[in-house]
Copies of this chain bind each other. A is one copy, B any other.
């Protein structure tokens, strides 16, 4: 059995510090040694509470998922689903590292389960059969994951002037003979990428399909 901790460290404190560093310096550039230094402690001290770096990643992810609000009550189920998906997007935008943490590691942890429970129970209450509810949950989650990951990527792009310049250059190097549609739609592609409107466009497509299926 674990004794009471000495006093300097505890898992909660490590996770909070790691999260701060991750948001300050980006998901790359984050290192165990950086966290340890921030805590005024040797790198190996962290291994008392986390088996390795991935284990710490999981803890950070679950900590962030704890910030997800529960589904709103008293609304029609499509609005509840929309709300959950939007909340997850906003959380991912506020904490860009969350996107990578969700995509690169399996889901686990108490708070993560809580979020899944919220969405799944909405779907079950809406009348979806168990298998359809599971499929729908996965579809919605993966859509939010992909759409928001991409949105974050594009936002990074627009902030880096060097990358932006190279993107313009590669765009203009495309012959409008070989790629007429890409060249024609280049303004729309860069203008519409990302943003709440783009996100809702895809989300509404999914929701319309779901509504149609419950009606039949």
Contacts and interface: CB of A to CB of B under 8 A. Distances in A.
Interface string A180-209: 111011001101110001100110111011
> Could you say how many copies of this chain the assembly holds?
2
Given A106-B167, A117-B181, A145-B150, A138 B206 contact: no
B170 A150 contact: no
Interface stretch (A16-24, A32-40, A129-137): A129-137
A157 interface: yes
Interface stretch (A5-13, A41-49, A74-82, A107-115): A107-115
B120 A182 contact: yes
Contacts of A193: 134, 138
Number of contact residues on A: which range applies? 35 or more
A116 interface: yes
Contacts of A103: 103, 149-150, 153
A146 interface: yes
Nearest to A137: B189
Contact of A209 (B131, B192, B208): B208
Interface string A131-166: 101111111011111110110011001000001001
A105 B156 CA distance: 10
A142 B146 contact: yes
A210 interface: yes
